[in-house]
Amino acid sequence: MNDALPASMPPTGEGSFRRVVEWAPTAMVMVDRKGRIVLINAQAERVFGYPRQELLGQSVEKLIPGHLSTHHPAYREGFFADPHPRPMGSGRDLYARHRDGSEFPVEIGLNPIETDDGVMVLASIVDITERHRAQQKLERALNEKTALLNEVHHRVKNNLQVVSSLLNLQASHTSDARLKSVLAESQNRLRAMALTHQLLYEGKDYSRIDLGEYLDRLAQLLLGSYREDSVRISLRTVMPTGPLSLDLERAVPCGLIVTELVTNAFKHAFVGGRSGEVRIELHAVADALELVVADDGVGLPAGFDLENVKSLGLQLVPLLAEQLGGDFSLGSGPGARFALRFPSMPSSRRAS
């Protein structure tokens, strides 16, 4: 609106200028250097609830809420020191005062106008009460949804923990060592999944988690479940310095792969009281991520063939790697070394 107004009195004279202002659809108030109202249009009368006779010659501060009017003369001086068209108070929430004393949110554009009596400022004022209300409603709705999402992730995590506790209970009812270890491994898988949900509600982003933080915390969890071995076997994580975020859909298989490989290292690499180290490394390589789980234990059995594994763990890992759109490979020793390379961005939204 302001841009359409001339920066000086139009050649057709003051009469037509007054008519343009009078019938403008936004409220307009022209103020002189001393802050006195010299012109007000019909819409401004409606917006502020004053007949114009009550405002002409009065201080413009009459239209500004008390708590905001103290600084107004200084702002006005600033405008007249460098008069050019601009929005008023950018970055601040502006409010105006109605005749009945109520306050309402406004947006104000300022335009310098050259007149015979010197430069004046023509303010066009838009009442944004409705927009404010709609925005507040949206913010409330968004807050509710955020709380709900938090709650859902919290419940998923708790439910997984309940299942994990049930397995624990089952394990305590058997004296079969092999069954105990199978149940403990399943518990670790559940914990790895529960942790992704925990990180989602702990963080601010509900679709992605920081993979480095996830793997660090997963390592702590796994170490906790091999407490008695942790004296001779250490577990170290080598993570990138910056954050590397991953979507939930791929964070889960990633966590399950690490769980399988670290479990294997604790189970098979340090037999006969051997001591050593297990390492989880994450590297960003070009547009891919490389995840390595390595140990300095006894190494894989002679003739080990990843393609023909009969046990569940290492059959599961290539399937999970496929879900990530990645390649899973064996590295060379000493010890065992498994590497998984997958694109840092999902190739496309998978159908299922």
Residues that bind Mg ion (CB under 5 A): 264, 313
Per residue, the 3-state secondary structure of 115-147, as one string, reads: ECCEEEEEEEEEECHHHHHHHHHHHHHHHHHHH
Q: Which residues contact 145 (CB under 8 A, 6 or more apart)?
A: none
Residue 180 corresponds to which tokens in the numbers above? 């105990």
Binding residue for ligand ATP, selected from 134, 149, 312, 319, defined by CB under 6 A: 312
List the single partner that 180 binds among Mg ion, ligand ATP, none, CB under 5 to 8 Å by kind: none
CB nearer to ligand ATP: give 198 or 264: 264
Residue 98 corresponds to which tokens in the numbers above? 């109605």
Contact flag: residue 297 with ligand ATP (CB under 6 A): yes
In the complex, the smallest distance separating the C-beta of residue 192 from Mg ion, rounded to whole angstroms, is: 14
Residue 91 CA to residue 301 CA, distance in Å, equals 67
Q: Which phi and psi angles does 16 have, rounded to 5°?
A: -70, -35
Closest residue to Mg ion, Cβ-based? Answer: 313
Our measurement of the distance from residue 280's CA atom to the centroid of its chain's CA atoms, rounded to an integer in Å, reads: 27
In the complex, the smallest distance separating the C-beta of residue 195 from ligand ATP, rounded to whole angstroms, is: 20
In the complex, the smallest distance separating the C-beta of residue 168 from Mg ion, rounded to whole angstroms, is: 19
CB nearer to ligand ATP: give 33 or 267: 267
Contact flag: residue 311 with ligand ATP (CB under 6 A): yes
Binding residue for ligand ATP, selected from 63, 314, 320, 340, defined by CB under 6 A: 314
Contact flag: residue 127 with ligand ATP (CB under 6 A): no
List the single partner that 238 binds among ligand ATP, Mg ion, none, CB under 5 to 8 Å by kind: none
Contact flag: residue 269 with ligand ATP (CB under 6 A): yes
CB nearer to ligand ATP: give 213 or 281: 281
At which residue do the structure tokens 């939930």 appear? 248
CB nearer to ligand ATP: give 88 or 309: 309
Site for ligand ATP in 159-188 (CB under 6 A): 185
Q: Which residues contact 306 (CB under 8 A, 6 or more apart)?
A: 314, 318, 328, 330
Q: 29 near 37, Cβ under 8 Å?
A: yes
CB nearer to ligand ATP: give 164 or 264: 264
What are the start-end ranges of the E strands in 79-203?
A: 86-87, 94-97, 103-115, 118-127
Q: 270 near 263, Cβ under 8 Å?
A: no
In the complex, the smallest distance separating the C-beta of residue 269 from ligand ATP, rounded to whole angstroms, is: 4
The answer to whether the peptide bond before residue 334 is cis (omega within 30 degrees of 0) is: yes
Instruction: Dump the DSSP string for 257-280.
Output: HHHHHHHHIIIIITGGG--EEEEE
List the single partner that 300 binds among Mg ion, ligand ATP, none, CB under 5 to 8 Å by kind: ligand ATP
Chain positions contacting ligand ATP, by CB under 6 A? 185, 264-265, 267-269, 295, 297-301, 309, 311-314, 336
